Each structure stands twice: as C-alpha cells, then as structure tokens.
Structure 1
Amino acid sequence: MRGAEPLLRVGGLHKSFTVDGRHLPVLTDCSLEVGRGEVVAIVGRSGSGKSTLLNMIGLLDAADGGEHVFDGVDVTRLGEGGRARLRNAGIGFVFQTFHLLERRTALANVCVPMVLGGVPASRRRAHGRRLLESVGLQDRITSRPHQLSGGEQQRVALARALSMEPAMVLADEPTGALDGTTSDQIIEQLLAQARTRGTAVVIVTHEPSVAAAADRRIAIEEGRTRPVG
C-alpha cells in the first residue's frame, strides 16, 4: 500500500436489510484499506454484497456499525449534509448503467458535480471540455446521451466522475455493458488516473481480466472480506 496512512479505512462494517418483515444480513464483517494511487478490485458471486459495500464506501448508504474513515475524516460522526459534501468533493462514481441526464449534453453531464460543488460556470465549462478531450470525446461535447454509443456514454460518465478531481473513484461493474475493446479503454483510463494523479480506484467486477489489472483483489464471501492471491 502506498503511503503510511491509507486514504480509506473501514473495519468491521456490517449491514442488514428488512424485507417483508424478515431481517436479512448482507454484510457481517467487512474490513478494507485503500491507499492513494492504489487500484483495488472487489470480487464475489452475484448477491454477495459487493455493491452494498461500494455504496457504503461511497457514502451513498450508511453501515449499521463498524469503523469508516475517509481522508482522515471519521464518517460515522457525520450527518447527512456532511456526508454529502464529503462525497461530492472527494469521491467520483462510475456505474454500469451510466446514469446520464438524457436531456443534457455530454458537457452538461460532466459539469453536474461541479454545479453541486459551487464551481463558477466559466471554470466548470472549461474543465469539463478538458475532461471530455482527455477521454477522446472532443467532437461529442454537444451530443446528448441518445446520440452516443454505450462506450461513449461510459466515457462521459468517467469524465463526470473525475470532474471534482476526487481522491477516490468507485466503479461498479463499469465494463459490464461494453464490448471488449471499449472495456479495455475504460480500465486503462482508470489505471492511468491512479498512476498519474494518485487517485485511489475501487472496482467491483465479475470480469477476471479487470480484476487482474488491479493492484490487489478483495473477495466477499458469506458477508466477509478476504484478500485474494
């Protein structure tokens, strides 16, 4: 792990849901540390809780208990407002289904986190253009999602995830809906972000080739994390 103090440290996280009156534990003891510039793959069978763990790491959902420290901040002590501010400033997200705003241009989609973060309009437009150029979409800046291929939409989503220059990017099956060539391009861009900017990257994946590209692999089995290899 790079650096003495990890960017992310979670320990003993557990999470349960109530469905039709039944108490269903999903995660019972998950622990993980991620350093700056490190790429970590989370693997496991469908339904094992990979996305649940990613959502808790990304402050989209709260654990029922356990330790959670991100960039020196004890997340468990934050209210919803504090969690939202930390999430917007420090964490970027890439999902399998893109989650782009259909009526907005590629540039407007990339700028959404910057709007929420209060970045002035002129700065966010210039930065958004640079990000789209960096993922090879300089000719698609004014295109809307329905005018883009799946791979182009995912590159817009990646540019959006990087727009606030986050310390960490979380990617949930980012290549699941893409062809092999485009999948390789997305993973290479994520790896380049880690190598050149020191961004931590955590990827949930079913694909062995994607997991193999990571610095470390963590499996979830029976609600617990364990190192792979």
Structure 2
Amino acid sequence: MAVGAAAPALSRPGTAPLLRAEGITRHFTVSGTRIDVLHDCTFEVGRGEVVAIVGQSGSGKSTLLNVLGLLDRPSSGTYDFDGVDTTRLREGARSRLRGEGIGFVFQQFHLLERRTALANVGVPLVLAGVPALRRRARARELLESVGLEHRLHSRPHQLSGGEQQRVALARALSRDPALVLADEPTGALDAASSTMIMDQLLEQARVRDAAVIVVTHDPKVAERADRVIQLVEGRTR
C-alpha cells in the first residue's frame, strides 16, 4: 500500500482510468456566508483498484464522495467517469449514469425492514425494469457470492449487522457497477464482521474488475486498500 497524493493514480498501462477528478472544489452558502469544503482535489482511480479516503471529521470526505457518486456537482473543476465528463451532463443523464455505473454501500445499511434479503437486493433491478424471474435469479446469485445463500428469505431484523451489510453490498453490486463507493462500511460492525466486509469488497473488486473507494476512519480498513488518499482540510494528499 502506498500513500496517495494529488498525482495520477495506479491505472493499468495502456488503459484510461475509470475516474479522474481534476481541480474539484465545492463550496456552499449558508446564511449569506460562503463555506469552502473542497479545494483543488485531483486524483485518478483505475479499474479493479481499491482506494481508501481518510481524514478527520469535517475534512470533506462525505462531500467528495457525493461528488464522485454523482449525487452532487462540484463548484468548479472536472470529473470524468468512464470516459464521460459528468460536469457537462444534465440531471437525467447523470441519474442514468449513476444508476448503471455506481453502487453505494453505507454505514447504516438502509435495508427495507419488511422485505427479505432477496427482495432487498432486487430493489435496484426493479427500478431498472428487470423482469421478476431474472431479478430473483440475479439477487440469489449475488447473495450466494457474499456467502448468504442460507439467508435468502430472512428479513433484516433476523440478520446480524455483518449479514445486513453483506446484503447491502450485494444490493450495491446488483447492476454490476464499474465503481463501488463505500462510506464507513464497517463503522457499525465488530472486528470480525469488519474483516469479512473488507474481504468481500476486495474480492468483488478482483472478480468484477470494479473500482472500490472506501471512506473510513479505521486504519485497519485503510491499510488493506491498494492506495490511500488523505483529505486534509478539503485538499487531497
């Protein structure tokens, strides 16, 4: 693992990076006062690479993740995702690109309490209009890939925290995204479950050739990434 900087990342020779952020800034205006959160963030991430973003609370990690996930727009700079300059896209195109190309895993699992694991994993496929039989087959395949073939019909309250996070990971992978964004995915888990979730993230990156970006406070999580990007007062290092 090498400590990342604002310089180009570890893209494979002869291939373009999956994402490139260049000169990203983000500011907000609150009660007439401008608050600058991100400053000139520049980095690349390649396919199949696992990157950890670390920084103190208030350093801008969540804001940066929202920009990378196309949930927010930068105030200035450019963000290219899979060869597309996202800063030029209208909202409808951004939404489609986000739904097809990016999966999200959060600290809080955000599972539907009255739905089974199988149904929860299938939610993005429902939104994509995938027929029911194909949807259930895909959800079953993904749950099996994260070791939950025995929990297909369990509801969230019947699952441990680690199992719920694996369901959330399977859901994030349902549309085979090129990028998985994980915001403190082990923050609510014990040490054993945290290790298991990181094992799964690393495995999925390898098997699916997906880039994985993990925002974390946990040095044990960060040290398992291929590279670490430090965010200090809104600046990448």
What interval of TM-score do these two structures reach, taking the shorter chain for normalisation?
over 0.9
TM-score by length of 1: 0.96
SS at match of 2:176: coil
Q: Which residue of 1 aligns with 2:120?
A: 109
For residue 197 of structure 1, report the CA deviation from its aligned partner.
1.8
| Separation in 1, partners of 2:31, 2:112 | 33
For residue 52 of structure 1, report the CA deviation from its aligned partner.
0.8
Is 1:2 the counterpart of 2:31? The answer is: no
Residue ranges of structure 1 left out of the alignment (5+ in a row) = none
For residue 100 of structure 1, report the CA deviation from its aligned partner.
1.0
Is 1:68 the counterpart of 2:68? The answer is: no
Q: Which residue of 2 aligns with 1:203?
A: 214
Deviates more, 1:175-184 or 1:116-125: 116-125
Report if aligned partners of 1:92, 1:161 keep a CA contact under 8 Å in 2: yes
Q: Which residue of 2 aligns with 1:24?
A: 35
Query: Could you list the per-position Cα deviations for residues 121-153 of structure 1 after superposition, in whole angstroms to 9, with x for gaps in the alignment?
Result: 111110101111111211221222122111111
Q: Which residue of 1 aligns with 2:56?
A: 45
For residue 191 of structure 1, report the CA deviation from its aligned partner.
0.5
- Counterpart residue type for residue 110 of structure 1: V
TM-score by length of 2: 0.92
Alignment of 1:151-162 (within 5 A): 151-162=162-173
- Counterpart residue type for residue 140 of structure 2: R
- Counterpart residue type for residue 114 of structure 1: L
Deviates more, 1:195-204 or 1:114-123: 114-123
- Counterpart residue type for residue 199 of structure 2: E
For residue 28 of structure 1, report the CA deviation from its aligned partner.
1.5
Is 1:135 the counterpart of 2:135? The answer is: no
SS at match of 1:131: helix
SS at match of 1:55: helix
| Separation in 2, partners of 1:162, 1:124 | 13
Is 1:36 the counterpart of 2:47? The answer is: yes
- Counterpart residue type for residue 201 of structure 2: L
Query: Could you list the per-position Cα deviations for residues 50-93 of structure 1 after superposition, in whole angstroms to 9, with x for gaps in the alignment?
Result: 11101110111111111110001110111111111101110111
SS at match of 1:163: coil
| Separation in 2, partners of 1:212, 1:85 | 33
| Separation in 2, partners of 1:193, 1:152 | 16
Report if aligned partners of 1:109, 1:156 keep a CA contact under 8 Å in 2: yes
For residue 17 of structure 1, report the CA deviation from its aligned partner.
1.8
- Counterpart residue type for residue 16 of structure 2: E
> Which of 32, 47, 68 is residue 57 of structure 1 equivalent to?
68
Query: Could you list the per-position Cα deviations for residues 152-191 of structure 1 after superposition, in whole angstroms to 9, with x for gaps in the alignment?
Result: 1101000001110110100000000000011000001110
| Separation in 1, partners of 2:101, 2:184 | 20
Report if aligned partners of 2:58, 2:233 keep a CA contact under 8 Å in 1: no
Query: Could you list the per-position Cα deviations for residues 15-74 of structure 1 after superposition, in whole angstroms to 9, with x for gaps in the alignment?
Result: 112223321111121112000000110000011001110111011111111111000111
Q: Which residue of 2 aligns with 1:184?
A: 195
Count of residue pairs the alignment pairs up: 226
